[in-house]
Every structure is written in C-alpha cells, then in structure tokens.
A and B are shown apart, each in its own frame.
Chain A
C-alpha cells in the first residue's frame, strides 16, 4: 500500500533557526507532491507543490522543498523560521497516473519559540 512518512512528530526550534522537515513516500512511478500547512485554528492551506520540472520548488512564506526521486523524498526547508510558522505541516503524495487518492503523512508539529 502507498504510504507517506514524516520522520519528525514534533519539532521545536528557536526563532531564526533553520528548518528541515523530512518526507518520504513508498511507491514508484510519476508522482505529484505537496506540502500543506495547518495553522492553529485555521484550515489546511497549500505551501507548495511539485508536478514536474525543477526539483527545487519554492512556495509561500519563504518555504521551499526539494524532490529527490532516487530517495523518494520531498523535504521541506526554510532558512530562518519565525514564531508565526508555528503550525502542523503535512506532506501529501498522489500518483500521476491511475486512480489513486491523495495520501497524507501523519504530520509534523512545529513549535517556534522566541
């Protein structure tokens, strides 16, 4: 079965620290990749997405992610986090062909402290 793994359940960082959240998926073939964020009390919103082309994608609020096909990974990065980045982050993957749903990782809770 397809699965998406997010290695860190809870990450605590100080403001201005760099962030990297891991995401690995289990199935081959051509995939579409997403990172979503859920701020406290708000609904899920898209941070960034990868469909094809440059494997380094830039999203909103200074986030970026790199697709490494050989490692089945799509890690999320931000050079300098802010208190307002405190949220839960979800990686999601769907296969480009066939009829597979969007599969989410279990999420990583990020707490940024001043």
Chain B
C-alpha cells in the first residue's frame, strides 16, 4: 500500500510569511502526527490528530497550528515565519492513537522548509 505522502517536499519562504504543509496518511490510518526535525533539537513533537480531533500538542508557540479532515488528511500551518522555523517537518500516521495504542508510526519523507 502507498506510504505517507507529504507536499510540498521543499519550500522556501521569507520571514513574516505563512506556510501550509500537507500530509496524506496511509489508507485506513486515522492518527496523524507532526514533528519538527532540526540538527540541534532532533525530532520534536508538534501535535497529533485522531479522527479530526487534536489529541495532543507539543511545546510550540501558537503560530503552529494544524487540522485534520474527514478523510484523515492533515495540514499544518505556520504563521509569521521566523528564521528558526527552518527545519524538516515530518508527518507520521498510525491506525491507533499514539498514547494507549500498541501501534507504530509510519513516517513520510518530510517537507524541507527554509526561511530566509
């Protein structure tokens, strides 16, 4: 079956702009999580959506937001971009929610965001 897909793969934005990233989970998966990966901080959890509801949110400012649609596809939005937002943004999907579910996550290739 097809894996997790993310669009776009690469993005260059300038400070102050906003950006929307998209993630399509594996067919049948209802949980989608987003992570920010940087060389200094590693992988940091942004948020998780399950059946269109945000189940958990990481320690990121309110400029980072997300949503999930009825077909389980998810988007994340970053407003008022800062230079420090440059990172690889990873999406992962699973059938069950992360916590409490004995399940594993499948990761997409990521969107490389560069803020200039």
State the A residues within 8 Å of B (CB). 32, 34, 36, 42-46, 49, 51-52, 90, 92, 94-107
DSSP majority for the A interface? loop
19 contacts between A and B (CB under 8 A): A32-B102, A43-B90, A43-B107, A43-B108, A43-B110, A46-B106, A49-B104, A94-B99, A96-B99, A97-B99, A98-B99, A98-B100, A99-B55, A101-B45, A101-B56, A102-B33, A104-B43, A104-B44, A104-B45
Looking at the assembled complex, report how far the CB atom of B91 sits from the nearest CB atom of chain A, in whole angstroms. Answer: 10
Contact partners of A45 in chain B: CB under 8 A: 107
Known contacts: A44-B90, A94-B98, A97-B99. The answer to whether A103 contacts B45 by CB under 8 A is yes
CB–CB A101/B58 < 8 A: yes
Looking at the assembled complex, report how far the CB atom of B73 sits from the nearest CB atom of chain A, in whole angstroms. Answer: 18
CB–CB B99/A100 < 8 A: yes
CB–CB B42/A90 < 8 A: yes
B109: nearest chain-A partner, CB-CB: A43
* Chain B 29-55 per-residue mask, 1 if CB under 8 angstroms from chain A, else 0: 000010100000111110010000001
Ordered nearest first, which 9 A-B pairs have the shortest CB separation? Answer: A106-B42, A44-B107, A104-B43, A101-B45, A43-B109, A51-B102, A99-B99, A101-B56, A43-B107
Contact partners of B106 in chain A: CB under 8 A: 46
Other A-B contacts than A97-B100, A103-B45, 12 sampled, CB-CB below 8 A, are A43-B108, A43-B109, A46-B105, A51-B102, A94-B99, A95-B99, A98-B99, A99-B56, A100-B99, A104-B43, A106-B41, A107-B43
* In the bound complex, CA of A106 to CA of B44 (Å): 9
* In the bound complex, CA of A68 to CA of B40 (Å): 28
Contact partners of A97 in chain B: CB under 8 A: 99-100
CB–CB A102/B98 < 8 A: yes
